[in-house]
Amino acid sequence: MNVSRAAEALNISQSALSRQIQSLEEELGCRLFDRIGKRLSLTLEGEHLLPRAAQLLDQADALSLRSEAVARGQFGHLRIGATAQTIASLIAPALTIFRKTHPAVEVSLIEAPNRTLVEMVERGAVHVSVATPDDPGAFYLEPLFVARLLAYLPSGDHRRSASELPIESLADAPVLLLRRGFMTRDLFDESCRTAGVRARIVLESDSPHALIAMVEAGHGIAMLSSSAARGVRTSPPISVSLAKDFIQRQVSAIWSPLRHRPAALAPFILSLKQTLGSDTLPFETSNTSGPQK
């Protein structure tokens, strides 16, 4: 190998090339080249290391390309938190859209009630949750839909024909609820406190379908949000009201401003928004757009 031509190809001076070779040999602890005039030839040690060096350079190039793809959101890992109801009604169809453009992104789903979903975002257990935080200002968020509190009444209840159900009418009524920590339960409890209503709780469950089964058997009134009611096949529900206003809450995609935000997060949230554009979903979509803090 001619030293001058090698230096010219690398766009450095011959002396700089010689210093780099010397530095590499000192670092490796072996001589790589024999110097014969202005020519260099590989030693046996150099010939032995050359294939491995070429392999490492190829791997470095591949790593560089991979890191660029990760930065674009084409690779990586996205951890998503949501309730079981939201996974079934929103996350599942949104992932179908997302995987068409990001098939190599690994997605992990974690199911939990609303309060736990918010806490998981805070401690970095998930990158994003579909949830309702008590303190929206502590998060970045993208509003998705409005969840309304609905009542499912058993057959024969005289209130089934009403257009809305004042929460005051549930005083001492047998009520079927999701457990504490679910947004639906928080809505119901807060509204009862505001109205001074004390409901008679017959069942607390993690399953909307268990509540509906109890309704159909005539054992009480089930309280579910419009998002939790997807897939429920029974008589149409009635919107619950407080002071003549519907009881409802904004549900958003939330993520922490203090945590790493993977590049795949933005296209996933876009998939959520595209899914919510479908007329087949049981959500009242939000008119608000854009991340907020």
Greater pLDDT, 282 or 75 = 75
Task: Give the C-alpha separation, 250 to 208, whole Å.
Answer: 20
Tell me the per-residue pLDDT of 222-257, one tens digit each, with 9 for 90 and over: 999 877 666 556 667 888 988 788 999 999 999 999
pLDDT at site 83: 92
3-state secondary structure of 109: strand
The mean predicted confidence, pLDDT, of the chain is 83
Q: What's the half-sphere exposure (Cβ side, CA atoms, 13 Å) at 161?
A: 2
Strand partners, 80: 109, 128
Task: Give the C-alpha separation, 65 to 25, whole Å.
Answer: 29
Task: Give the C-alpha separation, 230 to 283, whole Å.
Answer: 9
Contact 73, 264 (CB under 8 A): yes
What fold does the segment set 3-71 form as a domain? Answer: Arc Repressor Mutant, subunit A (1.10.10)
Question: What is the enclosing helix (H) or strand (E) of 58?
Answer: helix 44-71
The DSSP symbol for 42 reads E
pLDDT at site 158: 85
* 108 pLDDT more than 60: yes
What one-character-per-residue DSSP string does 120-160 give? Answer: HHHHTS-SEEEE--S-GGGSEEEEEEEEEEEEE--TT-GGG
Structure tokens at 22: 């010397």
* 76 pLDDT more than 60: yes
* 98 pLDDT more than 90: yes
Greater pLDDT, 23 or 228 = 23
* CB-count exposure of residue 78 (10 Å: 0-12, 13-18, 19+): buried
The ranges assigned to domains in the chain are 3-71, 77-143+262-278, 146-248
Rounded to two decimals, the pTM is 0.68
Task: Give the C-alpha separation, 121 to 108, whole Å.
Answer: 14
Q: What percentage of the chain carries pLDDT values higher than 90? A: 46
Homologous superfamily (CATH) of 77-143+262-278 is Periplasmic binding protein-like II (3.40.190.10)
Task: Give the C-alpha separation, 271 to 27, whole Å.
Answer: 51
**Lowest mean pLDDT, pick from 104-108, 162-166, 236-240:** 236-240
pLDDT at site 285: 47
What is the identity of the amino acid at 191? Answer: S
Tell me the per-residue pLDDT of 27-75, one tens digit each, with 9 for 90 and over: 878 887 777 777 777 777 767 777 887 786 677 776 666 666 555 545 5
Mean pLDDT value across residues 9-22: 77
Give Cα separations from 91 to 3, 27, 83, 192, 225 (angstroms).
61, 53, 10, 31, 17
**Same CATH fold, 146-248 and 3-71?**
no
Q: CATH number of 146-248: 3.20.10.10, 2.60.40.790, 3.40.190.290, 3.40.50.300? A: 3.40.190.290
pLDDT at site 230: 60
Task: Give the C-alpha separation, 12 to 194, whole Å.
Answer: 77
